[in-house]
Structure 1
Amino acid sequence: MSALVLTGAGVSVDDVAAVAREARKVEIGANVIGRLEKARKVLDQAAASGQQIYGLNTGLGANLRTSVEGDASAFQRQLLEGRSGAVGEALPIEAVRATMLARLTMLSAGGSGLSPAVFVALVEVLNAGVHPVMPSLGSIGAGDLVLMTTIARLLIGEGEADYQGRRMPAVKALMMARLGPIGLAPKDGLSLINASAVSAGGGALAVTDALSALAQQQQAGALTMEGFGANRTILDPRLHMARPAAGQQEAAKALHDLLARDEAPAPTTIQDPLSIRCMPSIHGALIEAIGQARRAVETELNAAADNPLVLSDDELVLSTGNFHTASLALAFEALSLAIAQCAAASAARFIQLTGSGRNGLPKYLSPVGGASAGFVPLQKTVTSILAAIRHKANPVMLDFLPVSEGVEDHATQTPLVVSKCADMITLWRRLIAFELMAAAQAVDLREGLALAPRTSVVHTATRALVPALKHDRPLGIDAEALHAALAGGKWQTVLAPADLVEEQA
């Protein structure tokens, strides 16, 4: 895999995922160091002129009006120590790596005034696999600075780090990686922490996962249509041209392609339940929401989000609110609602498939009947998962209090918004696993059914992980195995040939 070259623009959510999850290396583009040097010169000249510059010669937050005198570099260390207040379970390594890369992509735009040597040091620790232990609680989305202090402290040899799977003092991790602590020039500490990189990095991973889960949901939905004997006329492109709602034509085409065959079977009904009949609308809304979240994340990744901001070409240093991520939070609140809607439809289809028997399917999808429970007990599990999803879909971006003596009287809660969205994707994949299990069972029980080539591949992939139900057995174990494949990347390996696993979004 070729290295990701930082240029100050063009970084995608896929780039973040590759660095975070596949250890893709990072290189510094030809013009980045010159851009950083130019901004640093403008910053130093502004400070020498006597200009008040937030976080360089003034305090932060409630101490805004307090002048900083004496050793400015010592103040940067004090600034980091005083804001190291994050607590809670440590973020996973992939989330930390995504955060480190997100901060690098923002810094490469050149608006921070960060010393080039500090930028290089951050690239080196990321490539070396030295990661700060970053607690998960402490940011309200007005910049993620309380969490970000762990990255800055790592660079100066403070705090704890994870290296080669071991947790140790940061200075030891640096030494083992043949690196050393660095010093901080005026404002370097603030430049490292005063950004929403936790939100942007985590958001990139969530968008990547949402795209993957959507492709799997399309496959499960198509297999349900096969097993249910659904009316495929709902996928006629003329219907979706008549009401061209966002993403609807794209979703309908993906389902249509999955179900394409030389001769479609006759439908068993005129109209199916809404969870089936309205799949293009439901999935289309999700496609649109994922696209909006992706645009919001990639805007953050490729922007100068610093306060104060150095405008090198104009030789100005100005205070900003660029660290504030209201649009990012709103995009992920909308994405959460779209996921919840899609998950609810999946749960509804599961209950339709596993109920008292419709469209010629046996009761509870049991091949033996009688007192056999079949799939019906899993309706409780599916409902409990959906309840957890619906709970997390509740918006939180308005849940804040004024802090710092009222200076910081607004926030976005973006890290929490992104985090709960990521949790919802994990739960949603569990519902997809249940739908695949039920749909595959329905297909097996429908005599004489010839599947479309692509849904046949989905069915075979499901059966490679979960055998058909011939008598009552613990189905929770099967659901766990299928979910592990969906969530862990093994589904793409099982699902073959490769041209059938293209993302549907």
Structure 2
Amino acid sequence: MSALILTGAGVSVGDVATVARQARKVEIGPEIIGRLERARKVLDQAAAAGQQIYGLNTGLGANLGTSVEGDASAFQRQLLEGRSSAVGQALPVETVRATMLARASMLSAGGSGLSPAVFIALVEALNAGVHPVMPSLGSIGAGDLVLMTALARLLIGEGEADYQGRRMPAAKALMMARLAPISLAPKDGLSLINASAVSCGSGALAMTDALSALAQQQQAGALTMEGFGANRTILDPRLQMARPAAGQGEAAKALHDLLARDEAPAPTTIQDPLSIRCMPSIHGALIEAIGQAKRAVEIELNAAADNPLVLADDGVVMSTGNFHTAGLSLAFETLGLAIAQCAAASVARFIQLTGSGRNGLTKYLSPIGGASAGFVPLQKTATSILAAIRHKANPVMLDFLPVSEGVEDHATQSLFAVSKCAGMIALWRRLIAFELMAAAQAVDLRERLTLAPRTGAIYAAVRAHVSMLKNDRPLGSDAEVLHAMLADGTWQAAAAIGKEPD
């Protein structure tokens, strides 16, 4: 895999995922160091001229009006120590790596005034696999400042680090990786921490997962249409053109392509329940929400989100609110609602498939009948999971209180919005596993059914790990196996068999 070259623009959510999860290397583009040097020069000149610069020669938050006297570099260490107040379980290494890349990407835009040596140290630590142990609780979305102190302290050799799967003092991890702690020039500490890099990095990973889960949901929906004997006229492109709702045409085309064959079977009904008939519009709304969240994340990844901001070309340093991520929070709140709606439809289809028998299917999808429970007990599990998703869909971005003596009287709760959305995606995949299992069972029970090439590949991927239900057995363990495939990436490889080239 080729290295990701930082240029100050163009970093995508996919780039974050490969660096965070596949240890892709990061290189500094040839123009970056010069850009950082110019910004640093402007910052130093403004300070020398007597300009009050937040976090360089003034205190932070409620201490804004307090001048910093004496060693400005020592103050940078002081502000890191004083703001290391995050608590809770440590974030996963992949999230920390995503955070490190997100901050490096933002800094490469050149608006922070960060010393080039500090920027280089950040990239070197990322490439060497030296990761700060970063507690998970403390961000309110007005920047992830309290959490980000763990990263800044790592670079100066303080705090704890995760290196080669072991937790150890940061100074020891740097030494083992043949890296040296850095010294902080004025404002360097604030430049490292005053950004929403945890929210942004986490958001990029959540976006990657949402995109793969959407593809899996489309596959499950297509297999349901096969097993249910659904009326496929709902996918006619003329219907989508008649009502060009956001994403609907794209969702319908994807389903149509999954079901494509030389001769489509006759539908069993004039029209199907809404969870099937309205799949293009339900999935289309999710496609639109994913696109909105992806745009919001990639804006942050490639933006100068600093306060104060150095405008090197104009030779000025200005206070900003660029660290404030209301748009990111709103995008993920919307995405959460779209996921919840899609998950609810998946559960509805599962209940249609596993109910009293519709379109010629047997009761509870049991081939033996009688007192057999078949798939119906899983209805309880599915509705329990859906309840957890619906709970997480409740908005959090309005839940804040004024802090720092009212100076910080608004917050966005971006990290909370992103993390609960990520939790929803993980739960949603479990429902997709249920739908795939039920749809495959329906296919088995529908005699003489010939599947389309691509739905045949989806069916084969299910059956490679979960056999047909012939007598009552523990289906929870089957669902766990299928969910693991959906979550770890092996499902994509299995279900890609028979897929037409792009």
Q: Distance in 2 between matches of 1:493 and 1:455?
A: 14
1:307 alignment partner in structure 2:
307
**Compared CA separation, residues 498 and 270, structure 1 to 2 (3 A):** closer
Q: Determine if contact 2:143/2:195 at 8 Å carries over to the other structure.
A: yes
Residue 7 of structure 2 corresponds to: 7
Cα gap change, 1:340/1:501 in structure 2, threshold over 3 Å: closer, same or farther? farther
User: What is the DSSP-based 3-state SS (H/G/I as helix, E as strand, rest coil) of the residue aligned with 1:109?
Assistant: coil
Secondary structure of the structure 2 residue equivalent to 1:167: strand
Q: Is the 8 A contact 1:333 1:417 kept in 2?
A: yes
Query: Structure 1 residues 290, 110: closer, same or farther in 2, change over 3 A?
Result: same
Code of the residue aligned with 1:146 in structure 2: it is V
User: Which residue of 2 is the match for residue 224 of structure 1?
Assistant: 224
Paired with 2:316 and 2:494, the residues of 1 have a C-alpha distance of 56
Counterpart Cα distance in 2 of 1:254 and 1:320: 43
Give the Å deviation of 1:56.
0.1
Q: What residue number does 1:43 align with?
A: 43
How far did residue 260 of structure 1 move? 0.6
- Counterparts of 1:328-367 in structure 2, within 5 Å, are 328-367=328-367
| Equivalent residues in 2 for 1:140-155, closer than 5 Å | 140-155=140-155
Whether 1:262 and 2:262 are equivalent positions in the alignment is yes
Native 8 Å contact 2:131 2:162 kept in 1 = yes
171 and 74 in structure 1: CA distance in 2 versus 1, 3 angstrom threshold: same
2:77 is the alignment partner of 1:59: no
In the other structure, the counterpart of 1:400 is 400
Q: Is 1:17 equivalent to 2:17 in the alignment?
A: yes
Determine the C-alpha separation between the residues in 2 that align with 1:306 and 1:313.
Answer: 16
Task: Go from structure 1 to structure 2 and tell me whether the alpha carbon gap of 1:20 and 1:378 turns closer, same or farther (over 3 Å shift).
Answer: same
Distance 1:49 1:127 in 2: 38
Looking at structure 2, the residues matched to 497 and 464 of structure 1 have their Cα atoms a distance apart, in angstroms, of 13
1:497 deviates by 2.3
| Letter aligned with residue 320 of structure 2 | T
Map 1:31-430; keep pairs closer than 5 Å: 31-430=31-430
Q: CA deviation at 1:496?
A: 3.6
* Aligned amino acid, residue 196 of structure 2: S
Q: Distance in 2 between matches of 1:235 and 1:158?
A: 58
Deviations 1:93-130 (A, max 9, x none): 00000000000000000000000000000000000000
1:89 alignment partner, SS class: strand
Contact 2:454 2:498 in 1 (8 A): no
* AA matched with 1:313: D
Describe the SS at the equivalent of 2:161.
Answer: strand
- Are 2:246 and 2:285, in contact at CA under 8 Å, matched by a contact in 1? yes
CA contact (8 A) 1:25 1:127 kept: yes
Contact 2:454 2:497 in 1 (8 A): no
Report Cα offsets for 1:445-496 as digits up to 9, x if no partner.
0001111111000000000011110100000000000000000011022224
AA of the residue aligned to 1:490:
T
Structure 1 residues 206-256: Cα deviation after superposition (integer angstroms, max 9, x where no partner): 111000000000000000000000000000000010000000000000000
Counterpart code for 2:61: G
How far off its partner does 1:285 sit?
0.2
1:177-212 residue CA offsets vs partner (Å, 9 max, x unmatched)? 011111000000000000000011000001110000
CA distance in 2, matches of 1:315, 1:443: 68
Partner SS for 1:195: coil
SS at match of 1:469: coil
Matched length: 502
Indicate the residue corresponding to 2:451 in structure 1: 451
**What is the TM-score normalised by the length of structure 2?**
0.99
Contact 1:492 / 1:501 at 8 angstroms: preserved in 2? no
Partners in 1 of 2:4 and 2:90 — Cα distance?
26
Contact 1:293–1:332 under 8 Å retained in 2: yes
- What 5-or-longer segments of structure 1 have no aligned partner? none
CA–CA distance in 2 between the matches of 1:501 and 1:317?
A: 51
The answer on 1:476 being equivalent to 2:468 is no
Distance 1:300 1:255 in 2: 32
TM superposition shift of 1:344? 0.2
Counterpart of 1:49 in structure 2: which amino acid?
A
SS in 2 for 1:304: coil
Q: d(CA) in 1 for partners of 2:286 and 2:397? A: 20
Kindly indicate whether the alpha-carbon contact (under 8 Å) linking 1:87 and 1:137 is maintained by their aligned counterparts in 2. yes
Amino acid at match of 1:236: D
In 2, Cα distance between equivalents of 1:82 and 1:470: 63
Separation in structure 1 between the aligned mates of residue 499 and residue 258 of structure 2, nearest angstrom:
11
What percent identity do the matched residue pairs reach?
Answer: 85
SS at structure 2 position matched to 1:27: strand
Q: Distance in 1 between matches of 2:392 and 2:372?
A: 34
User: Contact 1:495/1:501 (CA < 8 Å) preserved in 2?
Assistant: no
Offset, 1:428: 0.2
Q: What is the CA RMSD across the aligned residues, in angstroms? A: 0.8
The 1-side partners of 2:437 and 2:252 are apart by: 23
Report the Cα distance in structure 2 between the residues aligned to 1:501 and 1:208, rounded to whole angstroms: 21
Query: Contact 1:441–1:468 (CA<8 Å) still a contact in 2?
Result: yes
8 Å CA contact 2:160, 2:169 repeated in 1: yes
- Alpha-carbon distance in structure 2 between the residues aligned to 1:340 and 1:500: 30
State how far apart, in whole Å, the 2-side matches of 1:477 and 1:15 are.
34
| Change beyond 3 A, Cα 1:123–1:317 | same
Q: Which amino acid is 1:192 matched to?
A: L
CA contact (8 A) 1:130 1:162 kept: yes
> What is the alpha-carbon distance in structure 2 between the residues aligned to residue 497 and residue 417 of structure 1?
36
Report the TM-score, using the length of structure 1 for normalisation: 0.99
8 Å CA contact retained: 1:3, 1:25 = yes
Match of 1:495 in 2: 495
The Cα of 1:498 is off from its aligned counterpart by 6.9
Structure 1 position 501, deviation (Å)? 9.4
Aligned AA (2:412): T
Secondary structure of 1:88's counterpart equals strand
Give the residue type in structure 1 aligned to 2:362: P
- Provide the rounded CA distance (Å) in 1 between the counterparts of 2:400 and 2:302: 27
Pair 1:500–1:88, CA change in 2 (3 A): farther
SS at match of 1:313: coil
Q: Please state whether the residue corresponding to 2:246 is helix, strand or coil.
A: coil
1:432 aligns with 2:438: no
SS in 1 for 2:180: coil
Question: Aligned partner of 1:425: which letter?
Answer: I
Counterpart residue type for residue 256 of structure 1:
H
Does the Cα contact within 8 Å between 2:453 and 2:498 map onto a contact in 1? no
